Amino acid sequence: MSVLMVIIPDQMSEIVAKGEYQPRYYNPCELFDEVHILMCNDDRVDPAAVQRTVGRARLFIHNLPEDNAHFIQRTRWFKPYLLEPWARPFLHVLKEYQFRLLNEWAEPAVELARKIQPALIRCHGNDYNACVASRIRKELGIPYIVSLHINPDVNPRRRVLDPNASWQDRLFAMLFDAIEIRGLRDAELVLPVYRPIIPYLERVGCANYEVAYNVLNEDHLRKKDAYALHRPVKVISVGRHFALKNPGNIIRAVAAMPEVEFTLVGDGAFQESLETLARESGAGDRIIFRPAIPNDELCRVLPEYDIFAVHTEHWEISKSVLEALLTGMPTIVNRRIGDPVPELQDDIVLLVENTVEGYRVALQRLISDHPFREQLGRRAYVHAQEHWAPAKTEAKYVEIYKRVIDHETHNLK
């Protein structure tokens, strides 16, 4: 019986509640017979609600809650003078002391790994979970890989990038940067899920990486076959609603187009203001807000819409955009502030400025130019199937898992 250990920082109950889990997400192609998921928190979740993420494998869920006694950034040890140049040697000592405390915190996970003897450890994200995996590797020799889902230099998980931040936040950023780097450098392999993450890996001196795109919902994604427009034209946007993903200009553009109905799937800090904007624009009856749709349902209904439109300043190709492209949706995406997303430069989306006029003109073009709309969607489908088809991405993870395990087995011999 082959065993996989998965260590995550996420609260699984929240992901279950949003209906975002993909089939076999934690056990691609059901490669393993037994999967142990360790959450670095005290969250509780019904295993039956998570079973689909491991297929037919036996599933076990464990917890390793964060303990303030093992995280010095939460104690009175923080002093502003630690940011002074003369204090740098002491800061190095402080970092090493933090790692010692983290090793103590990780001991229950080491004992769990000793008991279940996994062939491989997979970390989703690089948080304190990778420190746990690093400790297990050093103690027991079990290999681990880390998938990175963000570029921490652009979208930090726990630390701030603002130079005007408080000295406490800046000091914590230094400590957590060291924690992130060690978690990556100790791993057998790091898997960025899109190419914009690579500059971060190169900055921190991590050479052992390989791009491996997210595995999406193969069981429910459907190809869009018909490109005739509905009346009204059905436009959809999927994503969280906050400053970097603010669809306000799309709402304003749709408000000036009485022939368009716009559905926004997602919630977030901007939700209330966006709903107010829709009402005050006079198009409230044509703008539909759905805070959440289970991913299975979303993948099934995407082809029933005419156009996918989104605003994002994240340096990424998001799951929602990938789902739209894999379906063959004619897709509008803004040109982000900063470097472009490499995956979106192959004439598979309609790139626009993040302005009301930019979205209005793009929508009008896709509505009025039927051949262009269909060609854009079909071109996106072919490209997406070649690069991101779920069967291909899932098989790649299986190949990577086998390669790492075989390499470790060879080394042991």
pLDDT (tens digit per residue) in 246-264: 999 999 999 999 999 999 9
Q: Give the model's pLDDT for residue 263.
A: 98
pLDDT given at position 149: 95
Q: Mark whether 38 and 90 lie in a shared domain.
A: yes
CATH code of residue 68: 3.40.50
- Is residue 157 assigned to a domain? yes
Q: What is the domain extent for residue 20?
A: 3-212
Q: What is the pLDDT of residue 408?
A: 74
Same domain, 46 and 136: yes
Instruction: Name the one residue in this structure whose structure tokens are 């996994």.
Output: 118
- Residues forming a β-bridge with 81: none
Residue 220 lies in a domain: no
Contact 324, 302 (CB under 8 A): yes
Q: Give yes or no: residues 154 and 261 share one domain.
A: no
CA distances from 244 to 116, 309, 311 (A): 42, 15, 8
Q: Let me know if residue 395 belongs to a domain.
A: no
* Residues 161-207: tens digit of each pLDDT: 787 888 888 888 888 899 999 999 999 999 999 999 999 999 999 99
Q: State pLDDT tens for residues 70-129.
A: 877 666 667 777 778 888 788 888 889 889 999 999 999 999 999 999 999 999 999 999
Q: Are residues 188 and 280 in the same domain?
A: no
Q: How many CA atoms lie within 13 A of 410 on its CB side?
A: 6
First-to-final CA distance of the chain: 20
Are 348 and 317 in contact, with CB atoms under 8 Å apart? Answer: no
For residue 221, being part of any structural domain is answered with: no
- Which tens digits make up the pLDDT trace of 48-68? 999 999 999 999 999 999 887
For the chain, how are helix, strand and coil distributed in percent, rounded to 5? 45, 15, 40
Residue 406 in any domain: the answer is: no
Q: How far apart are CA 70 and CA 118, in angstroms?
A: 26
Label residue 356 by pLDDT band (50, 70, 90): very high
Question: Do residues 179 and 245 share a domain?
Answer: no
pLDDT at 87: 82
Beta-carbon contacts of residue 36 (< 8 Å; ≥ 6 apart): 3, 4, 5, 6, 60, 61, 62, 112, 116, 118
Of the three residues 180, 212, 244, the one that is the final residue of a domain is 212
Q: Looking at the DSSP assignment, which residues form a beta bridge with residue 234?
A: 261
Q: Tokens in use for 261? A: 């109905």
- For 215-298, strand residue ranges (E) read 233-238, 260-265, 287-290
Please tell me whether residues 194 and 244 are part of one structural domain.
no
| pLDDT above 90: residue 345 | no
Query: Which amino acid would we find at residue 16?
Result: V
**Least trusted range by pLDDT, from 131-140, 152-161, 245-254:** 152-161
**What integer pLDDT is reported at residue 69 of this predicted model?**
80
Distance between CA 64 and CA 9 in Å, rounded?
10
- Taking the C-alpha atoms of residue 137 and residue 207, their distance in angstroms, rounded to an integer, is 19
Same domain, 254 and 375: yes
What would the pLDDT profile of 271-306 be if each residue is shown by its tens digit? Answer: 999 999 999 999 999 999 999 999 999 999 999 999
pLDDT band at 325 (very low <50, low <70, confident <90, very high): very high
- DSSP reduced 3-state for 89: helix
Statement: residue 351 has pLDDT above 80: yes
pLDDT at residue 73, as a whole number: 64
What pLDDT sits at residue 52? 95
More confident residue, 222 or 73: 222
- Would you say residue 241 lies in a domain? yes
Tell whether 74 and 146 lie within a shared domain. yes
Closest Cα to residue 200, out of 100, 322, 315, 43?
Answer: 315
Is there a single domain that holds both residue 36 and residue 138?
yes
3-state secondary structure 305-341: CCEEEECCCCCCCCHHHHHHHHHCCCEEEECCCCCCC
133 and 282 share one domain: no
For residue 413, pLDDT beyond 70: no
Q: Is the pLDDT reported for residue 40 higher than 80? A: yes
DSSP state of 219: T
Nearest of 42, 38, 98 to residue 69 by alpha carbon: 98
Does residue 206 share a domain with residue 270?
Answer: no
Confidence (pLDDT) at 392: 97
Q: What is the pLDDT of residue 72?
A: 76
In this structure, the answer to whether residues 272 and 327 fall within a common structural domain is yes
Q: What's the CA dihedral at 370, 371, 374, 376 to 10 degrees?
A: -110
What's the domain count of the chain?
2
Residue 34 covered by a domain: yes
User: Average per-residue pLDDT in the chain?
Assistant: 93
Q: What secondary structure letter does DSSP report for 245?
A: B
Alpha carbon of 283 to those of 7, 216, 229, 255, 306: distances in Å? 46, 33, 20, 5, 19
Q: Is 239 left (phi over 0), alpha (psi -120 to 50) or beta?
A: left
Query: Quick check: is 50 in a domain?
Result: yes
CATH of the domain at 260: 3.40.50.2000
